[in-house]
Amino acid sequence: MIRLVGILVGLGFTFVVMLAFVFGAYTAATEGLGEETAESEFHLDPREVHFASDGAFGHWDHQQLQRGYQVYKEVCSACHSMQQVAFRNLAELGYSEGEVKAEAASWQVPGIDPNTGEANLRPGTATDRFPSPYPNSVAAAAANNNAVPPDLSLMAKARHHGPQYIYSLLTGYRDPNTFGVNGESLKAEFPEFTTPAGLHFNPYFPNLNIAMAPPLAAAGQVTYADGTDPTIDQMAQDVAAFLTWTAEPTLIKRKQTGWPVLGFLIFATILAWFAKKQIWAPVKPGNRKDKADRVLEDAGIISSDARAET
């Protein structure tokens, strides 16, 4: 009875899903598999770029992180907040305690006037987090053509291939009229594709038009203290490296912890393998015969000839 009901239920589900399949196949046969869009044809995957923190043996490049922080401070922070990071965390980039305090004090954070109780701005302290440039998201949207600039703290983890994506996006602004992939021009394939006023064409952005104006417009936009040449490519790499750190300050500690843990586990597992082998040896067929015979042989109960015969 159960089997009869089971067969009927199974055939029922199969029938309905195959019905859906037939409809889908008919649509696919008459209209093709999905329509090609400018987004599906001309969106680019992030470009390859490498950082010191990559790989299982990665480490922080403090010089680069400090440069990246400078780019964030002088360029990105005009629109983007970074609320998960506190000024005290900058000590991890190689700044001394005094430098961290001075750095914090150079930022204005929301505070309360101790005399009047009214909201005001005060210099930051090491325990404050990076402030948002806007009082709230409505103000942020109003100032940016209705697009709220996202918080950058976790950006490197909140996108596929985050650091590569950030680097590609910052260096990826193109002219849509001349843009093409593999010899196919965007304008020729999709003449109706436009970049609305206030948006900017960038093939690394999922829908190709991004509200953010090119933030790194010209080489030399920041002046690096360590003398590195501030090309657009260099600044984009540096800020991508910096945002890798803000997204996961414990990244390197994590990888460095992983190795001794793995070393111990591999050692323990090898020991466990031999322990298992030894414990099982007497009851394993091949081993058992051999070893049991050897015991009997040693005891003089059977001769080695008899053993060879078996």
Partner 1 sequence: MSFPWARVYEPKLPLMRYLDEKLPLPRFVYNAVGAGYPVPRNLNYFWNFGVLAGFALVLQIVTGVVLAMHYAANASVAFNSVEHIMRDVNWGWALRYAHANGASFFFVVIYLHIFRGLFYSSYKAPREMIWLIGVVIFLLLMATAFMGYVLPWGQMSFWGAQVITGLFSAIPLVGEPLQVWLLGGFAPDNAALNRFFSLHYLLPFVIVGCVILHIWALHIPGSSNPTGVEVKSESDTVPFHPYYTAKDGFGLGVFLIIYCVITFFQPNALGHPDNYIPANPLSTPAHIVPEWYFWPFYAILRAFTADFILPAKLWGVLAMFSAILCWFFLPWLDKSPVRSGHYRPLFRKFFLFGLLPAMALLFYCGGAPAEEPFVMLSQLATAYYFLHFLVILPIVSSIERPEPLPYSITEAVLGEDKQAVLGENARPPL
Q: Which residues bind partner 1 (CB under 8 A)?
A: 2-3, 6-7, 9-11, 13-14, 16-21, 23-25, 28, 33-34, 56, 83-84, 89, 150-151, 153-154, 157-160, 162, 206, 247-250, 253-255, 257-258, 261-262, 265-266, 268-269, 272-273, 275-276, 279-283, 285, 288-289, 291-292, 295-296
User: In whole angstroms, how close is the CB of 267 to partner 1 at the nearest point?
Assistant: 9
If the CB atoms of residues 157 and 200 are measured against partner 1, the closer one turns out to be 157
Please give the structure tokens belonging to residue 51: 């950082």
Residue 216 or 241 having the CB closest to partner 1: 241
CB of 144 to partner 1, least distance (A): 15
Residue 302 C-beta: closest distance to partner 1, Å:
11
Q: Give min distance, CB of 278 to partner 1, in A.
A: 8
Dihedral sign, Cα of residue 240, residue 244, residue 246, residue 247: positive
What is the C-alpha separation between 310 and 302, in angstroms, rounded? 11
Burial degree of 150 (CB within 10 A; 0-12, 13-18, 19+): middle
For residue 93, what is the DSSP state?
G
Q: How far is the CB of 217 from partner 1 (least distance, A)?
A: 27
User: Considering only CA atoms, which of 99, 79, 81 is closest in space to residue 89?
Assistant: 99
Amino acid 287 reads N
* C-beta of 86 vs 239, nearer to partner 1: 86
Q: What is the CB-side half-sphere exposure of residue 129 using CA atoms within 13 A?
A: 11
φ, ψ of residue 111 to 5 degrees: the values are: -145, -170
Nearer to partner 1 among residue 8 and residue 78 (C-beta): 8
